[in-house]
Amino acid sequence: MTRNPIIDEIHRIRKAHAKKFNYDVAAIFEDLRRRDAECRNLAKLRPVKPRRVPHVAEAQAPYAAGPTRRGKGGARRGRTGAGEK
């Protein structure tokens, strides 16, 4: 597999940061939170409100507009196949 120099650099930085705090996860995250609070030039993103997508039955499709034009029974009755008269 080919080595990616960008990923290798990220791993080096992460290992050096962890070593600086003696691999203490709580201290690492505290430092990251402190750094995040100090950065004023970062964009603050708000959560996106999900859109409501209508169900197929709620859509205004011609077949969902109302009753059929064939009358009370809907589909034709009595027609079961080709061999029957």
Q: What is the pLDDT along the chain (85 residues), one digit of tens a residue?
A: 789 999 999 999 999 999 999 999 999 999 999 988 888 777 777 888 888 776 666 555 555 555 555 555 555 555 555 555 5
Q: Give the pLDDT confidence score for residue 20 in this predicted structure.
A: 95
- DSSP characters for 7-62? HHHHHHHHHHHHHHTTT-HHHHHHHHHHHHHH--SS--PPPPPPPPPPPGGGS--G
| CA–CA distance, 39 with 71 (Å, rounded to integer) | 71
Report yes or no on whether pTM surpasses 0.85: no
